[in-house]
Amino acid sequence: MTKILITRNLPESAVDKLNESYEVEMWPHEDTPIPREELLDKVKDADAVLAMLTETIDEEVFQKAKNLKVVANMAVGFDNIDLESAKKHEVVITNTPDVLNETTADLTFALLLATARRIPEAVEYVKQDDWKTWSPFLLAGSDVHHKTLGIVGMGNIGQAVAKRATGFNMSILYHNRSRKKNAEQELGATYVEFDELIQQSDFVVCMTPLTDETKNMFNADVFKNMKESAIFINSSRGGVVNEEDLFKALEDGDIKAAGLDVFKNEPIKSDHPLLSLGNVVALPHIGSASVDTRMKMVELAVENIARVLNGEDPITPVN
Ligand code: DGY
């Protein structure tokens, strides 16, 4: 019988469609990824895998998975999957774009606001009984309205972030591999070279996927080129940032603060150097984490698998 491996415990209602026609094996834990050895063992007879971004799907996996036809990644990013190997082994790879655009843009803008206005610090201040009186510059942060936002990576999520920025009367700069004429016309966004964006932006928001070209692109030189008052926001992938360089830039005052939803090696622990800094707001990779959107991501991944196993084209292939 055709077998589907789901690498995390997902709501039964969302995967029912697969249960009807296929043998589905689901890793029983929601908060613990399937161990590598288990994955390598369980893919051996799998025709399809519904994978999370916590699984590295590489040559070793493809070699073991002789029956594999499709890997549906429950994420828009697919840097956890070796596309060259997938091609070699003729496995279809799909992701979950679009359904998460607005939710991820909401979180990105919330992180920007939280970092600029020092909201997590302020919450702790009240909880710790440090609030003794009103003071003129108590927890005074940076304004967001009428400032310049620079978006690196103007895909659909980047454009959704830009749309939110229009409500704050921000000037919007962007840098992207290709020009986005619609965003220029509809959102008033201006295309600039990367260096210009870095130098002129009050908020630099990284929305670019992790690829060989973007790995470590935010490094010491880039942070030095930013305004000293600049705030750096990252909700794409941690690997695009050199974290040691970011730490130094924040410590030395090359930039003012950073809001980070993603890290190079996740999960980070409380002894991560960036967490020792008062000007860092850190979140546990929750960009698309609303219940509605996560359900839509599961449903899209399920639909992609059903289609491929049925001999049809998937809705959102990446290869
Ligand atoms: C994605 O979809 O790539 C996010 O990072 C996880 O929700």
Cis geometry, peptide bond prior to residue 267 (ω within 30 degrees of 0): yes
Backbone angles phi, psi at 281, to 5 degrees: -105, 120
Give the distance from CA 158 to its chain's centroid. Answer: 11
Q: Is 294 a catalytic residue?
A: no
Calculate how far, in angstroms, residue 260's C-alpha sits from the geometric centre of ligand 1. 14
Q: What percent of the chain has pLDDT over 90?
A: 98
The single residue of 84, 186, 193, 266 carrying the catalytic annotation is 266
pLDDT, tens only, 214-232: 999 999 999 999 999 999 9
| E strand or H helix that includes residue 232 | strand 231-234
Burial zone of 60 (CB within 10 Å; 0-12 exposed, 13-18 middle, 19+ buried): middle
Of the listed 118, 164, 175, 237, which one is catalytic? 237
Q: Where are the alpha helices (DSSP H) in the chain?
A: 12-21, 36-42, 59-64, 83-88, 101-116, 119-127, 156-166, 181-187, 194-200, 220-225, 243-252, 291-309
Instruction: Tell me the average pLDDT of the chain.
Output: 98
3-state secondary structure of 181: helix
Whether residue 197 has its Cβ less than 6 Å from ligand 1? no
- The predicted model gives 299-307 an average pLDDT of 98
288 lines ligand 1 (CB under 6 A): yes
- Which residue in the block uniquely carries the two structure tokens 């962007």? 174
Q: What is the mean pLDDT of residues 256-284?
A: 98
100 CB within 6 A, ligand 1: yes
Question: What was the pLDDT predicted at 316?
Answer: 98
Of 52, 55, 74, 76, the residue with max ligand 1 atoms within 8 A of its CB, to mutate for a pocket test, comes to 76
Q: What is the pTM of this model?
A: 0.97
d(CA 286, CA 276) in angstroms, rounded, equals: 21
Instruction: For residues 265-286, give the mean pLDDT.
Output: 98
All CATH 3.40.50.720 domain ranges of the chain, comma separated, are 3-99+291-309, 101-282
Report in angstroms the alpha-carbon separations of 52 from 68, 93, 110, 114, 150: 16, 13, 24, 28, 30
The backbone torsions φ and ψ at residue 145, rounded to the nearest 5 degrees and listed phi first, read: -60, 145
Quick one: pLDDT band at residue 56, thresholds 50, 70, 90? very high
* Residue linked to tokens 């992701």: 95
Q: Looking at domain 3-99+291-309, which CATH architecture does it have?
A: 3-Layer(aba) Sandwich (3.40)
Distance in angstroms (rounded) separating the CA atoms of residues 251 and 254: 8
Give the pLDDT confidence of 94-122 residue by residue, as tens digits.
999 999 999 999 999 999 999 999 999 99
Q: Which of 211, 234, 288 has most ligand 1 atoms within 8 Å of CB, for mutation?
A: 288
pLDDT digits (tens, 9 = 90+) for 195-212: 999 999 999 999 999 999
* Position 93, amino acid: I
Q: Pull the structure tokens for residue 55.
A: 């699984």
Q: Which CATH architecture has domain 101-282?
A: 3-Layer(aba) Sandwich (3.40)
Dihedral over Cα of 266, 59, 85, 100: its sign = negative
Residue 111's pLDDT is 99
- Ligand 1 atom at shortest distance from the alpha carbon of 287: 7
Rounded CA separation 194/107 (Å): 24
Q: Name residue 10's amino acid.
A: L
- Cβ contacts of residue 205 below 8 Å, gap of 6+? 108, 112, 149, 150, 151, 152, 158, 161, 233, 234, 235
Is residue 116 in contact with ligand 1, taking CB distance under 6 Å? no
Query: Residue 207 has what pLDDT?
Result: 98
